[in-house]
Structure formats: structure tokens, C-alpha cells
Chains A and B, each alone.
Chain A
Amino acid sequence: MGADHVGERLPALLRAVRDSDHPVLWICDPMHGNTYQHESGYKTATSTT
């Protein structure tokens, strides 16, 4: 989802699924959606932000 979007998009999703009573388990995958290409060409992520 990406750290920049989790605050605005996730709450609505959580509520919608919760209200549908569909059984789910929410997992956070912070390593995806937060990677970018460093200028050296390596695909990387910043662990502290």
C-alpha cells in the first residue's frame, strides 16, 4: 500500500470489510509498496521511515 497512503486509504478499507462481516485476517507487508530505485540502480527501501 505504501507508507504514504496507509493513513488515508486503509481505515476505509478496514471498516468496509469489517461491516461486510466477511472473515479476514489483516497482514501488514511494509517491504512492498515502499521500494524505489536508488540512483545507483539498486532496488531498495528505507528501513527507518
Chain B
Amino acid sequence: MREVHGFFAACDDAGVWPGGVHVELTGENVTECLGGSEAVLGDELEQRYESECDPRLNARQSLDLAFPDRRTAPPLTAAADRVTGHISFPTRRPWSVTRFEELGPNSGLVEELYQRYLENPSSVDEHWRTYFAGETPPPNGERIPVAASVAPTPRPGPLVLEGDEPAPLRGAAARTVENMEASLTVPTATSVRAMPAKLLEVNRQILNNHLARSGAGKVSFTHLIAFAVLRALAEFPVLNSSYGEEDGKPVVVRHHHVNLGLAVDVRRRDGSHLLLVRA
């Protein structure tokens, strides 16, 4: 943007107040202008050229202009510094760049982590560093195909933590175990239900508007779901138990600890699904 720099320099020389900069821009990742820190190349113009008239800067190019990289951009003149000195730039990016669009509702979080990674790579978990470095393994290096095999896998012993008591299953519960064991050899089907989430969306927006005003982060659906799961667990603690075998006898373990992990169903570019476990 030599013109902008020339403008500020000329204003500075003449002792004239630089009144402002007028640009056409959009928060969308269009391909209407070339270049930028995520460069749009000439043969990519046709991919998303959506302007009816003049070309606009896309989200990344707009950020490049608003927050020039001091390492590569020519230094702003005294005049420009006077102007920018009157603008309080938000410490958080005003919108999330859609680089992590494919991660769905988590994209905001991932973008936030990414910004932290850009500022200081060692401030994020090693898994995320690997991920952001353009490596293929997602966090935790876990790639679990959604369509899991129905063949029963060798079961590890019950997970018993301090304070957990394995209790033997008797009577009707023991009969249920027999039937459940038998069912492991039967092919299974996954049931998927669509639930209305309009209210969840609206409330999330209200929460995020409030958080934005107080300069805090964002709430993702993952947060809300995790919160709901934990609230439900507090109300129905019996759900926090697992099944195992001890000395060949079926036992139920009532857990006193909660370790919550949520896997997000992620659709990759090639259309396949992955369960992405966040660290």
C-alpha cells in the first residue's frame, strides 16, 4: 500500500492533517485483490470474485493494512503514528478469520490459540504447535475414524482411581451383563438425532456479546455442551460409573472423579470424518 504511505508522508511534509483512509473491504475471504500475507494469486481471482463493481480487500488483506507487520512494512511516518495513536486497537481481532472454518463452532477457539501461537509458539500446547506448523496430525495425534469397527476390542481392566469402589453386580444387573456381553457380537447401528438448538444459539450470542464487551474470550458450543454434561452429572451422579470385570466377575465402579473429554466430529476436505479430541 505505497499510496497510503505516500499520503501520510506527503501530509507530514506539508504539515497537513491526514484526515483518513477510505478502503473497500470485506470480512469474507474473497479473491478480488491480489497479494496479502495469505497471498491471493492471479489465477485464484475467479475462485471467489463476488464484487459487483470494484475489487475489495479480503479479511486477511484488511488486517494486513490495519495492523501492518512492522518487520516487513515500511515504517509509518510521524503523521501516521499521530493518527494511529488516537485509535485504540482492540487487543483481540475484531472477527475470526475463517482459516479454521472446517472446525465449525470451534473455529473461534482454534483461531484464538493460533493467534497465541503466532505471538509465541511456546505459549500453546505441543500438539497445537505441531498442528499449526502445518503438520497433518491433529492435537493428541488422535485420529479415530467415526465408523468404528463393531468387533469387540480386548477390554482393559476397570479404571479405578483413588476413592473409587468396584462393587460386584448381582441379580438382575448380572443378568443384564450377560445379555450385554452377548450383544457385543451383534452388529450395531449408530443413532443420530437432530435437536433444535435455536435457543442455544441465541443464548450463546448473548453470552458472547457480553464477553466481547468485557474483553473476555468466546463461548463455543463445546463449552456449553461440556457445561451441560457436568451439570447433568451433578444431578445424576450414578451416570459417572463404569463397567469392568474383577476376578472374572462383573463389577460396576462408581467414580468419584470426573475427567471430561469431548470429541468433535470434524469433516475433512476430502469429505471423511474424524473425531478431534481437544487437549
Contacts and interface: CB of A to CB of B under 8 A. Distances in A.
B137 interface: no
Contacts of B46: 40, 42
B119 interface: no
Nearest to B39: A48
A18 B16 contact: yes
A34 B19 contact: no
A49 interface: yes
A43 B55 contact: yes
A15 B16 CA distance: 8
B3 A44 contact: no
Contacts of A11: 10, 13-14
Contacts of B61: 47
Interface stretch (B21-29, B187-195, B258-266): B21-29
Contacts of A27: 19-22
Q: How large is the interface on A (under 10, 10 to 19, 20 to 34, 35 or more residues)?
A: 20 to 34
B43 A40 contact: yes
Interface string A1-33: 111001100110011011000000111111111
Contacts of B55: 31, 35, 42-45
Interface string B159-201: 0000000000000000000000000000000000000000000
Contact of B3 (A17, A28, A38): A28
B2 A14 contact: no
Given A3-B2, A38-B45, A31 B19 contact: no
Contacts of A34: 3
Contacts of A28: 3-4, 7-8, 18, 20-22
A47 B21 contact: no
B23 A38 contact: no
Contact of B19 (A1, A25, A39, A44): A25
Contact of A6 (B7, B16, B36, B64): B7
A18 B14 contact: yes
Name the 3 nearest CB pairs between A and B, nearest first: A6-B6, A48-B35, A25-B19
Interface of B: 1-4, 6-11, 13-24, 32-36, 39, 42-43, 45-46, 49, 54-57, 61, 64-65
7 contacts: A14-B11, A18-B14, A27-B21, A28-B4, A29-B22, A42-B45, A43-B55
